Amino acid sequence: MRAGRGPAVPGLDRRVHRWVMSHRSPGSIIIARAVTRGGVTTIVLPALIAVATVAAEGPQGISRRLGSGLLAGGVAAAGIYLAIRVSRPVSRVRPDVADWAAAAGGPSFPSMHTTAATLFAAASAAALAPQARAGWPRRGIWAGAVAYAGAVGWSRVWLGMHWPTDVVAGWLFGAAWAGGSSAVLRIGRPAAARQRARARPADLMGQSRPRTRSRKGRPSGS
């Protein structure tokens, strides 16, 4: 059984697939099955909402923090939905079902697990990085995001359910959607919110107060 009857699969995809089939082992399949769960939509979307809620910037109440989390989850869900809509007209055939080491369904291009994992990783890193110190801590968050999306993409090829270019398309689509939506949200952010984001920590904590003059002309409030 094959899913989809779309365009021909490039020769490079088939060569990589044959190499994977000849090198994977029962142990590596178990690892890949565990890793591939990192791209399950019903797992990553609630996880993204939680991460974005906890990492919301500024002294916000729970309702505003939850709103930030729901916004991040909604943007990611919209990206996944669009990827599904793209996959249907393309309708690319998957590798032969005899090579699958896990369950799969739908067309092959792009890889939905990879797309979801990339969106989750990019959005989580974008939420967490501003809270970390500049330099290696922030770079480490983004490196972790790249490793996460890369591992899920690897698992889809290793389990024999996707061609390599399906995974590359998932990475590119997820990164483009995350970057584009982030830019749109930044442009649409109200001016007051931008000012709060740029405010000094002392100002946010109410530690910076204007100095006034007393009747004798000497500064007060210090």
Nearest partner of 74 among 119, 129, 111, 121, judged by Cα: 119
CA 111/CA 167 separation, integer angstroms: 5
Nearest partner of 97 among 155, 209, 21, judged by Cα: 21
Q: Does any domain span residue 201?
A: no
Q: Does any domain span residue 62?
A: yes
**pLDDT band per the 50, 70, 90 thresholds, residue 19:** very high
Q: Does any domain span residue 200?
A: no
Considering its fold, how many domains does the chain have in total? 1
CA 58/CA 65 separation, integer angstroms: 9
Structure tokens at 106: 């739908």
Q: Does any domain span residue 219?
A: no
Tell me if 182 sits within 8 A of 72, measured CB to CB: no
**pLDDT band per the 50, 70, 90 thresholds, residue 202:** very low
Single-letter amino acid code for the residue at 67: G
In whole angstroms, what separates CA 43 from the centre of its chain? 12
Q: What is the pLDDT of residue 61?
A: 67
Q: Does any domain span residue 7?
A: no
Lowest mean pLDDT among 124-133, 140-149, 194-203: 194-203
pLDDT at 63 over 80: no
Strand partners, 219: 213
Q: What is the pLDDT of residue 60?
A: 62
Q: What is the pLDDT of residue 149?
A: 96
Q: Does any domain span residue 210?
A: no
Q: What is the pLDDT of residue 2?
A: 43
Tell me the average pLDDT across 79-85.
91
Q: Does any domain span residue 8?
A: no
Structure tokens at 93: 């055939």
pLDDT at 38 over 80: yes
Single-letter amino acid code for the residue at 101: A
pLDDT at 157 over 50: yes
Q: Which residue has the tokens 């797992």?
A: 43
pLDDT digits (tens, 9 = 90+) for 185-198: 676 555 445 555 55
Mean pLDDT of the chain: 81
Structure tokens at 51: 């991460």
pLDDT at 8 over 60: yes
Domain of residue 67 covers: 25-187
CA neighbours closer than 13 Å in the CB half-sphere of residue 112: 21
Q: What is the pLDDT of residue 203?
A: 47
Q: What is the pLDDT of residue 198?
A: 56
| Percentage of the chain modeled with pLDDT above 70 | 77
Q: Does any domain span residue 16?
A: no
Tell me the average pLDDT across 189-208.
50
Tell me the average pLDDT across 116-121.
95
CA separation, residue 190 to residues 75, 195, 212 (Å): 18, 9, 31
Beta-strand pair 219-220/212-213: antiparallel
3-state secondary structure of 1: coil
pLDDT at 164 over 90: yes
Single-letter amino acid code for the residue at 80: I
**pLDDT band per the 50, 70, 90 thresholds, residue 65:** confident
Burial class (CB in 10 A: 0-12, 13-18, 19+), 208: exposed
Torsion angle defined by CA atoms of residues 55, 59, 61 and 63, in that order, rounded to the nearest 10 degrees: -50
